[in-house]
Structure 1
Amino acid sequence: MTHDAPTGEWFKSSWSEASNACVEVRFDEGSVRVRDSKRPGGPELRFDSHAWDSFLASGVWRR
């Protein structure tokens, strides 16, 4: 899968605007990390790239 965000930088959706009630995502070598934007030092979820691609393909993230 091709990602638009640089590897190693946290980002959130442009749909979130100035809201802090979002998740942030970070692409690392071979994995995708997800965290709560309100708790940047809190726990993270980590997925391998196959699991992340499957999640995106499922469409559960759509509004």
Structure 2
Amino acid sequence: MPPNKSLASPASHFQHFRERAGLSHAEVAQHVGVSSSCIWDIESRHDELASAYLLREPILRASNQ
């Protein structure tokens, strides 16, 4: 885990686990279905993951029903 995990943001956790898995921004983007720049945003903006992406899956599932 990132140092002092109690203070780590979702962005730093995301980056830590991406790096731990040995994946590039482009590889994660391809798996998730977003652009590589979105992955950069997730890792560099502490609120990006929660505000823009956490609801993406449920919304996509709901729209496909």
TM-score w.r.t. length of structure 1? 0.31
Larger radius of gyration: 2
Structure number having the greater helix percentage? 2
Structure number having the greater strand percentage? 1
TM-score w.r.t. length of structure 2? 0.30
Greater RCO (Cα-Cα under 8 Å, separation 6 or more): 2
